[in-house]
Structure 1
Amino acid sequence: MENETVNIPRKKKQGKSNLHLWVTIPIVLGSIALGVYAVQWKSQLIVERFIVDGARHLQAREIVTMSEIKPQSHIDEIDWNDVEAKLLEHPLIKWAEVESQLPDAMRITIIEREPFAVVSGKSLLYIDSEAVLLPRLPAMQFDLPLISGIEGIDKISLGKQAPIPDIFLAIEVLKEAKTVGWYHSISEVKIGAGGEIMLFAMDSGVPIFIGRDDIAAKLARLQTFWKNYVKDGTASQLKYLDLRFDGQVVVKWDRLNNQTTRIPL
Structure 2
Amino acid sequence: MAIYTPRPSPTRSRKGGGKSSWLGGFFKALFRRKGKAPESFRTQVVVTGAQRAWKWKKLSRNALLVCFLFCVVGTLFWGTKQLVFRSNIFHLTDIRITGTRITTQRQILELAGLRLGGSLLRFDAKAAATLIEAHPWVERAEIKTQWPSAVEITISEFQPFALVNLEEGKEKRLRYLNRSGHLFSEVAQGQELDFPVITGVLSQKDVEADRLVKGSLAEGACSLLLLAAKGNAILPIQAVSEVHIDQKLGLILYLVDRPFPVYFGTDRLQIKYSRLLKVLEQLYAKKQVDAVKEIRMDYLDDKVLVTGVQIDG
**TM-score between the two structures when normalised by the length of structure 1:** 0.72
Whole-angstrom CA distance in 2 between matches of 1:153 and 1:169: 16
Range that drifts further, 231-240 or 64-73:
231-240
The one of 69, 73, 82 aligned to 2:114 = 69
After superposition, give the CA deviation of every residue in 1:192-233 in whole Å (9 maximum; x if it has no partner). 132511101112222001111111121112122222322597
The one of 100, 104, 114 aligned to 1:59 = 104
Instruction: Please give the secondary structure, in 2, of the residue aligned with 1:175.
Output: helix
Q: CA deviation at 1:177?
A: 1.9
Instruction: Please give the secondary structure, in 2, of the residue aligned with 1:172.
Output: helix
Partner of 1:213: 267
Range that drifts further, 235-244 or 68-77:
68-77
Partner of 1:30: none
Contact 2:217 2:245 (8 Å CA) reproduced: yes
Please say if 1:94 is aligned against 2:139.
Answer: yes
Contact 2:252 2:263 (8 Å CA) reproduced: yes
Q: Note closer, same or farther for the CA distance 1:238–1:69 as it changes in structure 2 (3 Å cut).
A: same
Instruction: Please give the secondary structure, in 2, of the residue aligned with 1:194.
Output: coil
Instruction: Please give the secondary structure, in 1, of the residue aligned with 2:164.
Output: strand
Partner of 2:191: 140
Q: CA deviation at 1:100?
A: 2.2
Please say if 1:250 is aligned against 2:281.
Answer: no
Q: 1:1-265 residue pairs with structure 2 within 5 A?
A: 44-102=89-147, 104-120=149-165, 121=167, 122-134=172-184, 135-138=186-189, 140-152=191-203, 160-163=210-213, 165-179=216-230, 181=232, 182-194=236-248, 196-230=250-284, 234-244=288-298, 245-253=300-308, 261=310, 263-264=312-313
Contact 2:92 2:120 (8 Å CA) reproduced: yes
Q: Note closer, same or farther for the CA distance 1:250–1:195 as it changes in structure 2 (3 Å cut).
A: closer
Instruction: Please give the secondary structure, in 1, of the residue aligned with 2:306.
Output: strand
Contact 2:283 2:311 (8 Å CA) reproduced: no
Q: CA deviation at 1:179?
A: 2.5
Letter in 2 for 1:216: Q
Contact 2:145 2:152 (8 Å CA) reproduced: yes
Letter in 2 for 1:74: S
Aligned length: 218
Q: Which has the higher contact order (CA 8 A, sep 6+)?
A: 1
After superposition, give the CA deviation of every residue in 1:35-88 in whole Å (9 maximum; x if it has no partner). xxxxx7998222233211111221222222221223322223311110111111
Aligned Cα RMSD in Å? 2.9
Percent of aligned pairs with the same amino acid: 22
Q: Note closer, same or farther for the CA distance 1:252–1:95 as it changes in structure 2 (3 Å cut).
A: same
Q: Note closer, same or farther for the CA distance 1:109–1:229 as it changes in structure 2 (3 Å cut).
A: same
Whose helix fraction is larger, Structure 1's or Structure 2's? Answer: 2
Instruction: Please give the secondary structure, in 1, of the residue aligned with 2:192.
Output: coil
Range that drifts further, 135-144 or 147-156:
147-156
Q: CA deviation at 1:247?
A: 3.8
Range that drifts further, 146-155 or 191-200:
146-155
**TM-score between the two structures when normalised by the length of structure 2:** 0.62
Instruction: Please give the secondary structure, in 2, of the residue aligned with 1:230.
Output: helix
Contact 1:57 1:139 (8 Å CA) reproduced: no
Q: Note closer, same or farther for the CA distance 1:137–1:55 as it changes in structure 2 (3 Å cut).
A: farther
Give unpaired runs (5+ residues) of structure 1: 1-39, 254-258
Whole-angstrom CA distance in 1 between matches of 2:207 and 2:245: 18
Give unpaired runs (5+ residues) of structure 2: 1-83
After superposition, give the CA deviation of every residue in 1:93-137 in whole Å (9 maximum; x if it has no partner). 111101124554321111111111111131322222233222224
Whole-angstrom CA distance in 1 between matches of 2:259 and 2:130: 44
